[in-house]
Amino acid sequence: MQKMIYKLMVATGLIFAFEIVVLALLYIYLQLDGTFLVEGIIVICALFVTFDIFFCFTSLKKIAQARKKNDLTATEIIGDDIQEVYNFAQIGLIIVDNENFVVWANERFDFISAQIIDKDIYSWKPELETLKTGAENTKVKIDNRIYQVKLIKEANLFIFKDVTSYDAVVDFSYLNSPVIGLISIDNYQDAMNLFDEVYSNDIIASVQKNIVNYAKKYDILIKKYRSDSYLMVTTREKYDLMFKDKFYILEEVREEIKSTEYAPTLSIGIAFGVTDINKLYDLATSALDVALSRGGDQVVVSQYGEALQYYGGKSEAKSKRNRVRARVLSQSLQAQIVDSSSVFIMGHRDADLDAIGSSLGLYEFVQQCKKEVHIIYDDKLYEQKAKNAFKEMFTRDEIKEMTVSPKTALETIDNNSLVIITDVSRPSFTLAPKLVEMANKIAIIDHHRRGEEFPEHPVLSYIEPAASSASELVAELVRYNDKPKKLSSKTACIMLAGILLDTNYYRSKTGPRTYDASIILKEFGADNAVSDDFLKEEYEEYALKVRIMSNSFTPYYGIVVCKADEEDPIDRTMLAMCAQETLQIKGINACFVVGKTEAKKVGVSARSDGTINVQLLMEKMGGGGHFNAAAAQIENRTVDEVISTLKVTLDLYLNEARVQEETK
């Protein structure tokens, strides 16, 4: 339509110019030659006027026909009762020509018709561009009204449905949907027991004051239901404000009371996304359990039907263990073993020395209870150093008697069998995930922070992120077993090697309990020289490590990324050793080593000096681990692709993962 009008305007201008030129030439000729009569000029002018009238009539008729054609097309598509329909449903209609210029708008848009007629509709509302790319509908705002827009391309027809009232209801429902939260004061008992009464009461009172003030600021209903726990009820609107402020209460409590190792921090579980209050409470309880099992000092958010989200966790996990708890857990595990028909023990895929060492320790623990027990073993799913140590310390017949394949375990497990998972808590990461699915009774012993994936209703869960290794935890369980406290020297050597591996020879994640566990293993006959020998590198391994470390770059100051050759599959242990050794270089705060561990799997090993939360970064890539030691395994990707993903992760989350000096 717009194009037609433009052409007619050009034609009209040319005709008028031609007529003026002809009349001017005749006038000049009349002045020069008197024989030419004035009557001739009058006749010519009359002819021009007649032609102009005919031309204007024809042009207006064409415009009317074009407009009628568009109107008829819309009517044919929508129906004869279109006027009544769009008035009742508050529907606006706009028709455009082939050039996307508005040629007609119905009565619904009378208030803006002067602004949009003969204008490009996409210039008027750029949001409508999505309809050209295949979107079924979109929303636009016109004079404080919200319209849902659909395009019928065959008719060049835009249908605008007024959804202002509907959107208002949706917004109201969203902003006022219920949110349930649970707040727990970490290290509450430590603060109450380790300090004098006046000082401990002052500390707890200060924490409680911060919680109450935080609740008042965001209009949260808060109720204390235990000495160290609070229930909070709020709305999604208030939650969004809390999220926008990044749950600053964690930082506030951490900063205000940081003078002691056992200063309380907060763990918070929050749930929303469903109107069932009981369901929300269950989700919030599970989220809080995850926060506590990950070491506390963080918020875990559970949106119904979505993956868990983690916020905070910028301080290293504090040990919540004590000898009483270790004794109780040891006796509880013993009771579960006695009540079971058989026991199966397994670690994670690509089992390292800690996984096999803790499995062997649990194997002998179960043997002391006089129960049938087997370790899940698959030669292809063990790291080379772990396999070598296992085969060096035990004969083929002993290994055959102690172990069973995942397939055989699936065939022999019964309803009363107990499956013990060690050095891992994610079922999909175990040596036999299907065995976890089939088991009615599951016990978990792990030193990694708990993730969202977790077995349902385990009979025993001993997750201690502050521990150096699973072997450390198992050594304590064996010590406090009321059966004869005895481990073979072979098992003790491998368990000690597991501790040496995970602590990098006591250089990281080492606490008093780590040395206590090492002493326990020494009492059982562990030999430092033998354990150290398990970790020694072959010449080829050393050369490979040097080659990997030399192929590195620094994406950020203090951050080093090392890349293994795409054609050199290497053990996860080698990745960890490269990362740990690189971290010993002065000025490096964190190191990430990327290499192919299997034909279709790339591993990332991350180590930090404590100023960067590498666990948070690895979780963003689908892995996990500890605050300063974490890893990820990524399938069906090349090394270069994983490094690209790592760069993006660092770009997005490095600032969040950094720990300021004052909060360490």
87 versus 634: the higher-pLDDT residue is 634
CA-CA distance, 215 to 224, in Å (whole number)? 12
What is the three-class DSSP state of 97?
Answer: coil
Task: Categorize the per-residue pLDDT at 314 as very low, low, confident or very high, splitting at 50, 70 and 90.
Answer: low
Which pTM value belongs to this model? 0.58
Q: Which residue has the higher pLDDT, 440 or 74?
A: 440
Considering only CA atoms, which of 604, 594, 590 is closest in space to residue 659?
Answer: 590
Question: Could you give the dihedral angle defined by the CA atoms of residues 49, 55, 57 and 61, in that order, rounded to the nearest 10 degrees?
Answer: 180
Output the CA torsion sign for 65, 71, 73, 79.
negative
Dump pLDDT digits (tens) for 198-249.
667 777 888 888 899 999 999 999 999 888 899 999 999 999 999 988 888 8
* Contact indicator for 357, 375 with CB cutoff of 8 Å: no
Which H or E run contains 573? helix 572-583
What is the amino acid identity at position 598?
A: E
The residue behind tokens 């990332």 is 604
By the 10 Å C-beta count (0-12 exposed, 13-18 middle, 19+ buried), 258 is classed as middle
- Is residue 196 scored above 60 in pLDDT? no
- Residue 260: per-residue pLDDT: 52
* pLDDT recorded at residue 489: 93
pLDDT: is 627 or 353 the higher one? 353
Reported in sequence order, the residue ranges of 334-386 that DSSP labels E, i.e. its strands, are 343-346, 373-376
User: Tell me, what DSSP letter sits at residue 351?
Assistant: B
**Pick from 24-28, 130-134, 278-282, 445-449: least confident:** 24-28
Q: Sorting pLDDT into bands at 50, 70 and 90, what band is 484?
A: low
Least confident of 25-34, 74-83, 104-113, 629-638: 74-83
Instruction: Indicate the helix (H) or strand (E) that contains 416.
Output: none
What are the Cα distances from residue 112, in Å, to 9, 119, 122, 125, 140?
25, 12, 15, 13, 15
**For the purposes of burial, counting CB atoms within 10 Å of the CB of 23, is it exposed (0-12), middle (13-18) or buried (19 or more)?**
middle
Give the model's pLDDT for residue 662. 38
Beta-carbon contacts of residue 557 (< 8 Å; ≥ 6 apart): none
What distance in Å separates the CA atoms of residue 599 and residue 635, rounded to the nearest whole number?
9
Bridge-based pairing state of the strands 298-303 and 309-312: antiparallel
CA neighbor of 403 nearest in space, from 446, 362, 373: 373
For 282, the token pair is: 């269950």
- Interatomic CA distance for residues 349 and 588, integer angstroms: 30
- Tens of pLDDT, residue by residue over 452-482, are 788 888 888 888 887 889 999 999 898 887 7
User: Cα dist. 488→228, 367, 483, 521, 524 in Å?
Assistant: 43, 12, 15, 9, 7
Q: pLDDT tens, 501-512?
A: 888 788 777 888
Task: Please tell me the predicted confidence (pLDDT) of residue 195.
Answer: 55
Q: Which residue has the higher pLDDT, 109 or 371?
A: 371
Q: What pLDDT was estimated at residue 74? A: 46
